[in-house]
Structures are given as C-alpha cells and as structure tokens.
A = this chain, B = another copy of it.
Amino acid sequence: MRDVAIIGVGMTSFGEHWSKGFRELVVEAGTNALKDAGISGEKVDAGFVGTMASGKLIGQEHIGALIADFMGLNPIPITRVEGACASGSLALRQGIMAVSSGMHDTVVVGGVEKMTDLGTTGVTTALGGAGDQEWELFFGATFPALYALMARRHMIDFGTTEEMLASVSVKNHKHGSMNPNAQFQNQITLQDVLNSKMVANPLKILDCSPISDGAAALVLVPLEKAHSYTKKPVRILASAQASDTISLHSRESLTGVKSAQIASQNAYKYAKLSPKNIDVAEVHDCFSIAEIMAIEDLGFFKKGEGGIASLEGRTSLGGEIPINTSGGLKACGHPVGATGVKQLVELYWQLKGDAGNRQVKDANIGLSHNVGGSGATTVVHIVKGEW
C-alpha cells in the first residue's frame, strides 16, 4: 500500500455563478489544479469526482464521463461518487485507494455542485434526499429542521445558548472576509445572527450555510514521486469513513454524530496522532450547531463544551485550534459535492504557508471533517506538510 500525496490544488470562487454552468465550473477548478501541479492533462491516469444531486439539480447524471469529455481527458476513466454532502471527501478517498493500490499513478480528484439553476424549494427537496426520504423528507423534515432538533437537544443537555451558536457564524464570516474565494466576505455580529429570520427554531438564517455553485480539485500522486513535482507536497496521513443510521430517529444520541466520532478515532489511530497534534481543521458547519458538535466529536473539546469554546474565541484564527479558516460552509459557501474537496484545498494552502492574511502560523498538520446528511456518513482526512 503506497503512501499518497497532494501536489496541486485548484478551485473556483464559491457563490452564485449565473454566467457559468456545471461544466465551466469543473473545467476551471480542474485546470487550476493541473496548472498548480505543473502537469498537463496527458499525465493524468484517472479521476474521481464528488457530486451529490446533479440529477435533480441540472438533469445530468454520468458526471465522470461528462468531466472526462469537457476536460479533454478522454479516454481515461473518471468516476463519480456520491455520499450526500460528503461526496467530495469520498472522491478523495477513492483517489487515495486508486493510487495506493498501484492501479493509477496520477489521479485528479474533483468536487462540484451547481445549485442555483433551481429555485429554493427544488434545492431543499433535492438536499432532503441526503436524509431518509421515506421517513423524514416525505413528512416535511428538511435539513434545517433536522439540525434544529439536534441544536435543541444540545441546548437542553449542555446549556448551549443561541449566542454560542451565533458565535460560530460570526467567526466563520470573519475568516471568510479574508478569503477571496468565499461566497460571503462581509463580517457579521452576534446581534446580526440573533436578529436574523428564524428558519427552524433555534436556527436562524445566519446559522445556516447558503446555496452555492462551485468546484474544487486536487492532484494526487504516490508520495515517493511527489518531490519530483513540487518541493512541498502534502502527504495523506489518514483517510477514514464511517456510517450511522440514515434517519435521526434511529440514533442513540442527537447531541453528537457517532460516525464522526468513529471516523476521527480511526483517523487518529492510522496517523498515530491525537487531537492535540492538529494545527488547523476544516469542519462541516452546514449549520452552526454542526460545527459545535464537530469540534466535540473530533476531540478538540469535551462533549458539551463546544459552544462555550466557540463563544470564547478558542476556535478563531489565533485561538488554540483555528477551525474553518476558509470561512467554512457558512461563509465560504457550500456547493455540496465541492465542499469536501475545498476543505483539502484550504488545508493545502495552510500547510504550505500560502493562506495569505488568514494563515495559521507554522501549521504543519491539518484535519478535514466532512459530513453527509445529518451524519449517516462522515469522512475524516489528516494531512501533513512533507518537506
């Protein structure tokens, strides 16, 4: 089993791309990644792409072949993988398997979603397919509703407050203001969040990540060849994936995501590291409560203490563990299939010292946490600057 490294990354800006279609977004992110790696398309052996709901959002399946075609990469194999909002990380995981197995040497991993071609009802219905269609969505339990249930339970059990939830969005908008690719680069206050429109009590519109278009891409090679491409490759130390029940009502607990706990414990084990060793992390803040559960599930804070830690600024740039320097899903945007790949783009820049004024000082080890649905899938990657 060969070790694997990232040698180049690329992304589009995230936002409402009215003048770019699904294909243009993919090509832009993919060519940026190839350029960054300093290779041409002929070097690429295979690809994997994460896309959640292109069938419902743009009427297009067979995304792998579409991308091979529009990237000019025929006849290489490109395969789409889907695991709801964790689709991007799953594409990375398949890319890692393809390289580590020896089946392929140079693999492009992409993630993409074009969400603004449908109205919000259409998008909300499409996203509802990440949960249990028969027992949740059919009865009206959309994703804000599901996460609101988790938030309410967290508040009851641990005294988490609406201010603590709001502080996650404030921090992520602050980080997003330093990221030129972020959908929202405006800063907001606790009061802005608390006064914003209620979506599903206690979650307000500024507790929720937006509907976004965007794409991101990575180039993978065997670690042993990585230094012939770049002085500063980023090594994959761990790739871990776990599952939980698709519907909330079957879970043992609503205040944590079991698949995230299992995936992160496995990832730490594979990497021979503990939460203390992580310098910077991108986590899945689809709603503010999701980030609070994430930083607890990942072992950065004890269960129940994520809310106060957020309010106290311990997860901000300059804090003890900077979370979501990209702005996270909340401020950077959440084109669903792209998110898991964008997390690695941000970590790559952080570990190489290329993150501009949102740079975490001396960051050498990063972690990504990407959740599908309400936690039925979680994928955790740990990466390290290798130079």
Contact = CB atoms under 8 A, between A and B. Distances in A.
Majority secondary structure of chain A interface residues (helix, strand, loop or mixed): mixed
A311 to B, nearest CB: 31
A192 interface: no
B62 A373 contact: yes
Interface stretch (A78-86, A160-168, A207-215): A78-86
Query: Is the interface on chain A under 10, 10 to 19, 20 to 34, or 35 or more residues?
Result: 35 or more
A62 to B, nearest CB: 4
A298 interface: no
Nearest to A62: B84
A262 B75 CA distance: 8
Interface string A58-81: 111111111011000111111111
A133 B74 contact: no
A83 B62 contact: yes
A47 to B, nearest CB: 9
Tallying the copies of this chain within the complex gives 2
A243 B129 contact: no
Contact of A82 (B81, B134, B137, B243): B81
A69 B376 CA distance: 8
Nearest to A95: B97
B243 A78 contact: yes
A218 interface: no
Interface string A126-152: 101111111001000000000000000
A244 B75 contact: yes
A319 interface: no
Contacts of A100: 101-103
Contact of A62 (B60, B68, B79, B376): B376
Interface of A: 1, 21, 52-56, 58-66, 68-69, 73-84, 90, 93-94, 97-98, 100-103, 125-126, 128-134, 137, 241-247, 250, 258-259, 262, 372-373, 376-377
Given A75-B243, A97-B98, 11 more contacts: A55-B126, A59-B128, A61-B82, A62-B129, A64-B243, A69-B376, A79-B81, A79-B83, A81-B81, A94-B94, A100-B103
